[in-house]
Amino acid sequence: MTLHDGELVMSYADLVKGVSPRRAEAGGGSVSGSRRPSGAAEGGGDRPPLVRMANNSSKPPTPGALRVAADRVQTLIREICGDLSEAKRIVKCGRCPTGKGNTAVKRTDNNQAYAAGVQTCGSVWACAQCSFKIRAKRAIEISEAVRVHLGRGGSVLHVVFTVAHRADEALTDIWGVLSDTWSYLTSGGSWTNFKSALGLDGYIRSAEVTHGGNGWHPHLHVLLFINKPVSPVENEDDYYQLRHYLRKRWTKRLTEKHGREVSQEFGLRIDPVKADNAEGSGQYLTKVGLEMAMTNTKLGRGEGQRTPFAIAHDAAETGDIEDMNLWREWVQGSHRKHSISWSQGLREHLGLGPEKTDEELATEDPDGQTVAEITPDLWRAITARRDGTRVHVLAAFEHHNDPTDGAHAAARLLAGLDIAVEIRQTARTEIPLLDLAPPQTTNDRSNTNVEH
């Protein structure tokens, strides 16, 4: 995942890259204080894994293998969360067509193939496909906001807010404490006076959640945009006054209302953000943009901490019933929660224009060129499989520059899975149309189903 010429370059592989240590390696074969959510599966071991990735090699999985793993995570959502109202749209994402026509296979200028004309859910928390598209664009936007502000001579501070929690607490309960404490911190006359005295133009807030031996761990990453230099080196007094104010207000709410202690080491952390070519302590502009936007796709810092997508990947890989139950709890608990929020007026102040919704970002077409079409019957047969077939079919058009060659490669792939395909040309254009071949009779079984 990198920034290249101002554009974020990444793939679906980033959503499952480097899955954190298995729970057995973190001390025990089960999650401490794990709970079975309402409606979760009982038993375990009877569901075959969706992902089988070799673990006897020191080499990391290839991008292709990781992309297939992400697709199988999507299949897991369909299989174990299909009864949840919160997952109603997610289970259709990337698979169900928006209409009754053919599904178009498109290819971008950087040779990424994708299916167009299929439904999107816009879930930044629980959909591997939409989360990638949304967060990649948010990362670029946040990096641009920081660049503009630093260019004007202001400063940006990256603050991480955490809360103490127990292993037996429900995700929604801990998240509720976090949200309430943030609302308290940023409301009232005290906050208004603090902003004025500090010269705070606004903030960007991003929520991150991981899970480990102590249960769910939601926390906040916040960028403070200040209209003057503020750091331990520049304007030291303001920096330490800011730190004192934030810790005092954060601790007050957590202790007085929620009865929770705030760690002096982990309850609050502040790092200055600097330009990519600047020297000194702090975090670089590009890194902090990714840190803010891609929180749900990376690993937790502590040993044994996993992001939700890492949990889903492990559930798909092993069929572990506790991981499946954790994922169901995540889908329910994260529903309608805000991922990234901008304070009022900050975008306008930085000249970034109106903010698009997550769903708008997820449904944006990257303007790829149509290289093939797939009929509804064949598309249903492809997406019904739970082994990453959809990804392999799309990849066939990435590995062949000529669309016809890609279509024949896809047909051969599907033939090996007992899905017979015939290839025709569409009536409107000369691009190939892939369709289910009609059932063969005894006399013509020796004939190929692919028209050359």
User: What is 410-445 written as a DSSP string?
Assistant: HHHHHHTTT--EEEEE-SSSSSEEEEEPPPPPGGGT
The pLDDT score that the predictor gives to residue 141 is 94
390/412 same-domain check: yes
Into how many domains does the chain fold? 2
In one letter, which amino acid is 421? V
Tell me the three state secondary structure of residue 45. Answer: coil
Q: How far is CA 91 from CA 129, 386, 408, 440, in A?
A: 11, 13, 29, 33
H/E segment holding residue 242: helix 236-256
Which pLDDT belongs to residue 153? 93
Contact between 304 and 27 (Cβ < 8 Å): yes
| Any domain includes 29 | no
- Residue 407, pLDDT score: 96
Q: 381 and 243, same structural domain?
A: no
What per-residue confidence (pLDDT) applies to 416? Answer: 95
Which of 305, 326, 361 terminates a domain? The answer is 361
Same domain assignment for residues 351 and 236: yes
**For position 234, what pLDDT does the model report?**
72
Q: Report the pLDDT value the prediction gives residue 35, as an integer from 0 to 100.
A: 45
> Which residue type does 335 have?
H
β-strand pairing of 421-425 with 2-4: unpaired
Q: Look up residue 338 and give its two tokens.
A: 């805000």
Domain boundary among 361, 395, 415: 361
Q: Assess whether 276 and 412 both reside in one domain.
A: no
Q: Give the separation between CA 249 and CA 267, rounded to whole angstroms.
A: 12
How far separated are the first and last CA of the chain, in Å rounded? 40
Residues 287 and 355 in one domain: yes
Domain range for 282 is: 130-296+336-361
Distance CA 295, CA 5 (A): 23
Gap between the Cα atoms of 245 and 234, Å rounded = 18
264 in any annotated domain: yes
384 part of a folded domain: yes
Q: How many residues does the chain have?
A: 452
Could you report the per-residue pLDDT of 41-64, keeping only the tens digit for each?
444 444 455 443 334 444 545 556
Predicted confidence at residue 387, as pLDDT, reads 83
Residue 177, domain member (yes or no): yes
Q: What is the pLDDT of residue 268?
A: 85
What is the DSSP pairing of strand 268-274 with strand 283-284? Answer: parallel
Written as one string, the DSSP assignment of 53-103 is ---S-SSPPPHHHHHHHHHHHHHHHHHHSTT-GGGTTGGGTTTSBSSSSPE
Contact in structure between 296 and 308 (CB atoms under 8 Å) = yes
Say if residue 110 is in the same domain as residue 149. no
Q: Are residues 343 and 444 in the same domain?
A: no
Q: What angle do CA 232, 235, 236 make, to 5 degrees?
A: 40
Tens of pLDDT, residue by residue over 394-447, are: 999 999 999 999 999 999 999 999 999 999 987 777 899 999 998 875 555 444
In a domain, 228, yes or no: yes
One-character DSSP codes across 112-174: -EEEESB-----TTT-HHHHHHHHHHHHHHHHHHHHHHHHTT-EEEEEEE-----TTS-HHHH
Whether 298 and 307 have beta carbons less than 8 Å apart is answered as yes
CB atoms within 10 A of CB 305: 18
Task: Tell me whether residue 124 is in a domain.
Answer: no
**Alpha carbon distance 152, 77 (integer Å):** 45
Closest CA to 223 of 267, 277, 157: 157
Same domain, 273 and 352: yes
286 with 211, same domain: the answer is: yes
Residues 397 and 255 in one domain: no
Question: Residue 13 falls within a domain, yes or no?
Answer: no
What is the block-wise mean pLDDT of the chain (452 residues), using blocks of 10 residues? 38 38 34 42 47 42 67 84 92 89 93 92 90 90 94 94 91 96 96 95 95 92 94 79 92 93 76 76 75 65 75 87 94 94 96 94 91 95 90 93 95 95 84 90 50 43
Stretch (H or E) spanning 338: none
Closest listed residue to residue 110, CA positions, set 408, 369, 432: 369
State the Cα–Cα distance between residues 306 and 322, nearest whole angstrom: 14
Residue 308 lies in a domain: no
Closest CA to 332 of 81, 71, 76: 81
Decide if 404 contacts 426 (C-beta within 8 A): no
**Is the same domain home to 206 and 268?**
yes
Q: Are residues 157 and 283 in the same domain?
A: yes
What phi and psi, each to the nearest 5 degrees, are found at residue 4? -125, 120
